Structure 1
Amino acid sequence: MSLYEKVVNKEEKIAVVGLGYVGMPLAVAFAKKANVIGFDLNTKKIEEYKKGIDPTNEVGDEAIRQTTVEFTSNPTKLQEAKFHVVAVPTPVNADKTPDLSPIEGVSRTIGRNLTKGSIIVYESTVYPGVTEDFCIPILEQESGLKCGIDFKVGYSPERINPGDQVHRLENIVKVISGIDNEALEEIAKVYELVVEVGVHRASSIKVAEAAKVVENSQRDINIAFMNELAMVFDRMGIDTQEVIEAMNTKWNALKFFPGLVGGHCIGVDPYYFIYEAEKLGYHSQIILSGRKINDGMGEFVADAIIKNLVRTNKVVKKAKVVILGLTFKENCPDIRNSKVEDIIKRLKEYEIEPIVVDPYVNPMEAKHEYSVDLVPMDMINDADCLVFAVAHDMFKGMSMEQIDGMFGEFPNNEKVIVDVKSILDKNNIEKHGYMYWRL
């Protein structure tokens, strides 16, 4: 009997290692078809899941309460599983080189608890070669077992889009790869239990690894192009959004928009590709340039804030700037690699201590990650400048009365609104006489 058949018959268990925005929805989905162990070293996170709380908002508290996933922070529980899915973050260091310490740590943990006949599938974003050249040797060293004989390995890049209620695990085609054809088929069958639209079988693990970094690098480059246009149009006195509206009337327009590019994927993955390319003697031209542009957008927005404060005759270092949004994208609590931080840092160079509002974010996480003390929205009533940094629905739905109530008592032409995501009605804002700028 194959491992897939044993999993379906609940004779063997699946272990999902790393229960964040990627691993947790996967564990919950698998648990509808099989016995699942959900493992994470973060004991606080595990306790929240056991209480039926979903801090990611990806599946919701009710789904967590009803799931049969066995949540644990005890690594020896992994010995009970035969099919392991690794979904830990792969960040970059301060010098933009890959930080493989999380994936190294989890490989050692799995290796120490690995049993014969197991399959390990990595979902973490890596550059081509990491799974085979970095992870497998660790698994072999820690377990004393031999890959290809005693256990098998595969790679399936995660495609979870945090906060997206349309593109979900079940309706996004899953790229699958394995160390050999037997592993490939076993892995494909297991994933087909939860991915309704099916899987794509890649010819090798390196192809699957490359596909992940390339799909995000492609998006990064396209956004960088729009960001560069936005900076140029700003100097020309041309509204970028109006240019995009005109451009998008053509059938083959790509419909990308300027903005802050953060998060755990697009703002990070290109550096993995650049790193490996440079190791092989190739210096990236397009990808690295795109990264530099996108990494500089926070400073560009902050400088625009300063310019508009000056235009309204504000004393810059005494100005009260309120930033609405801290997450890296709309309608989710994820603050990993948020480029709003770059706006904050730049403003502090001008001796401005901005006030940050984001009802989606856990205040303790904001304090720990960025040393930001979040302020409730209803406490804002004397702002000089409102910066709409994230397109949360609650911000998009604000009335003119609500917006005006957040400003101090002075003429509208002295009130600055900076709309990073272009979520407000420009004509309506300007009709009320505000100083308005958008990216």
Structure 2
Amino acid sequence: MAVSFTLDRARIGIIGLGYVGLPLAVEFGKVYPTLGFDISKPRVDELRSGRDSSLEVEPADLIAATQLSYSLDAQDLADCNCYIVTVPTPINEHKQPDLTPLESASRTLGGILSAGDVVIFESTVYPGATEEVCIPIIESISGLVYNQDFFAGYSPERINPGDRAHRLPTIKKVTSGSTPEAARFVDALYASIITAGTHLASSIRVAEAAKVIENTQRDLNIALINELALIFNRLGIDTQEVLEAAGTKWNFLPFRPGLVGGHCIGVDPYYLTHKAQQIGYNPEIILAGRRLNDGMGAYVAGQVIKLMTRRGRLGPDSRILILGLTFKENCPDLRNTRVVDIIAELQDYGIRCDVHDPWANPAEAEHEYGIRPIAEPQEACYDAIVLAVAHHQFAEMGVERVRALGKTDAILYDVKQLFQRDAVDGRL
């Protein structure tokens, strides 16, 4: 049996309406009948009201997606014939892949799939996961046979939260399919909404591998620069000055030291290393980079403590203000933020930490991390200030207004290199 429909008869179901799923649903909803499904009632309610709390899609774009509707009922998806899965793929407390959302989505699909349908996965996984984990679940529940009764594809997401320059249609899309015909269909489907074009991979496994190494490469590059920062700090050399000097060569890569969090870079490498270990290979370089990057929060906290001690600001009543909690600037995304590592380490010293972030949702921060950000920090209250995220609001404040939040001789530590070196007491 072949794919039972052509593009002009495609009815698309998007499973998961987060940072990845919603932009996809909106673009497809401008062209095809599209149903966005999510298990969160607040999320569906806000989208129906024309609002996106993730700030990834403008209200005007929500309105422009005239063929897009939303549902909390999985049975409503049964009218679709092409399904795209965009659920999270996090790691657990042991830094192992947590495929629970993906498995749940596969069970949902198994209950609604019809002969001739196509299922496309976008969630980041290790090579082989789509056909080794998801497809067997769908087959078991649906009673349909893979590549005979239904078909699959994989097209890895490339969303960069908060990035206004690189939007879904302007980012080239990698595509793949379980048969040559399915691959051509998947490629044509995405080509109809992606102005930047597509790249058709030879197999689902190749497309899965391409996605997982994109962020593994970035993770390792940042790990190298973080290690250089540790070395240069011991040598008394400013890392930023070194990077600026080295950056005058045309082929020097412009990475900067910092915390590595978010839904991709700090997570995806563990999917690849998990699979590598399954097949008997111990990935040394990738895991070394992960360990180094995961330790940067504790390193920053240690540097702040040293500076406070030297200045006599460390005591039983010391208070520190953390500016920023989201995993990156000018974005409300709190997923896997490593700012919490700085906070946890400082709290281990018995230091009270206040957190201020104009982008973070206070209820979400409290639910996810037990941290309730304060609305407005008071002036002259803190023994140290840690600029953890470079939100534009902090840049607009300027270093003097930021310093005014601290007591006399308070420490100002700049994780994001937002201010000039001679204006702060320490930075990565």
- TM-score, structure 1 length as denominator? 0.94
Counterpart AA for 1:300: Y
Distance in 1, Cα, partners of 2:283 & 2:393: 40
Aligned to 2:334: 335
- For the residue of structure 2 that corresponds to 1:179, the secondary structure is coil
Q: 2:62 aligns with which of 48, 61, 64?
A: 64
- Mean Cα displacement is larger for which, 384-393 or 240-249? 384-393
Answer yes or no: is 1:304 the counterpart of 2:293. no
Counterparts in 2 of 1:1-20, with a 5 A limit? 6-8=6-8, 11-20=9-18
State the Cα distance separating 1:401 from its structure 2 match. Answer: 4.0
Counterpart AA for 1:131: T
Answer yes or no: is 1:437 the counterpart of 2:426. yes
Answer yes or no: is 1:53 the counterpart of 2:48. no
**Cα deviation per residue 1:201-227 (whole Å; 9 max; x = unaligned)?**
101111011111111111100100000
Q: 2:416 aligns with which of 421, 427, 430?
A: 421
Aligned to 1:102: 101
Distance in 2, Cα, partners of 1:264 & 1:43: 22
Is the 2:20–2:157 Cα contact (8 Å) retained in structure 1?
yes
Instruction: Specify every segment of 5 or more residues in structure 2 that has no aligned partner in the other structure, as ranges.
Output: none
Distance in 1, Cα, partners of 2:57 & 2:100: 28
Instruction: Specify every segment of 5 or more residues in structure 1 that has no aligned partner in the other structure, as ranges.
Output: 431-435
State the Cα distance separating 1:386 from its structure 2 match. Answer: 1.3
Distance in 2, Cα, partners of 1:65 & 1:233: 51
Distance in 2, Cα, partners of 1:353 & 1:384: 10
Counterpart AA for 1:318: D
Is the 1:7–1:14 Cα contact (8 Å) retained in structure 2?
no
- For the residue of structure 2 that corresponds to 1:29, the secondary structure is helix
Is the 1:317–1:350 Cα contact (8 Å) retained in structure 2?
no
- For the residue of structure 1 that corresponds to 2:119, the secondary structure is strand
Distance 1:370 1:380, change over 3 A: farther
Distance 1:78 1:380, change over 3 A: farther
Is the 2:121–2:155 Cα contact (8 Å) retained in structure 1?
yes
State the Cα distance separating 1:330 from its structure 2 match. Answer: 1.0
Aligned to 1:433: none
**Cα deviation per residue 1:111-165 (whole Å; 9 max; x = unaligned)?**
1011121111000010011101111111111111111111110111110000111
Answer yes or no: is 1:371 the counterpart of 2:331. no
State the Cα distance separating 1:85 from its structure 2 match. Answer: 0.7
Counterpart AA for 1:415: A
Counterpart AA for 1:354: C
Distance in 1, Cα, partners of 2:379 & 2:63: 36
**Cα deviation per residue 1:181-201 (whole Å; 9 max; x = unaligned)?**
100010011101111011101
Distance in 1, Cα, partners of 2:245 & 2:251: 13
Distance in 1, Cα, partners of 2:218 & 2:399: 34
- For the residue of structure 2 that corresponds to 1:331, the secondary structure is coil
RMSD: 1.5
State the Cα distance separating 1:61 from its structure 2 match. Answer: 3.1
State the Cα distance separating 1:63 from its structure 2 match. Answer: 2.6
**Cα deviation per residue 1:205-254 (whole Å; 9 max; x = unaligned)?**
11011111111111100100000111111111111111101110111101
Aligned length: 426
State the Cα distance separating 1:398 from its structure 2 match. Answer: 1.6
After the TM superposition, list the runs of 4 or more consecutive aligned residues in structure 1 that deviate by more than 6 angstroms: 2-5
Distance 1:324 1:283, change over 3 A: same
Answer yes or no: is 1:245 the counterpart of 2:240. no
Q: Identity, % of aligned pairs?
A: 47
Distance in 1, Cα, partners of 2:111 & 2:42: 23
- Mean Cα displacement is larger for which, 365-374 or 231-240? 231-240
Aligned to 2:158: 159
- For the residue of structure 1 that corresponds to 2:335, the secondary structure is coil
Aligned to 1:406: 405
Aligned to 2:321: 322
Distance in 2, Cα, partners of 1:331 & 1:292: 27
- For the residue of structure 1 that corresponds to 2:81, the secondary structure is strand
Distance 1:320 1:378, change over 3 A: closer
Distance in 1, Cα, partners of 2:316 & 2:130: 50
Counterparts in 2 of 1:27-426, with a 5 A limit? 27-68=25-66, 69-408=68-407, 410=408, 414-426=409-421
State the Cα distance separating 1:67 from its structure 2 match. Answer: 3.0
- For the residue of structure 2 that corresponds to 1:322, the secondary structure is strand
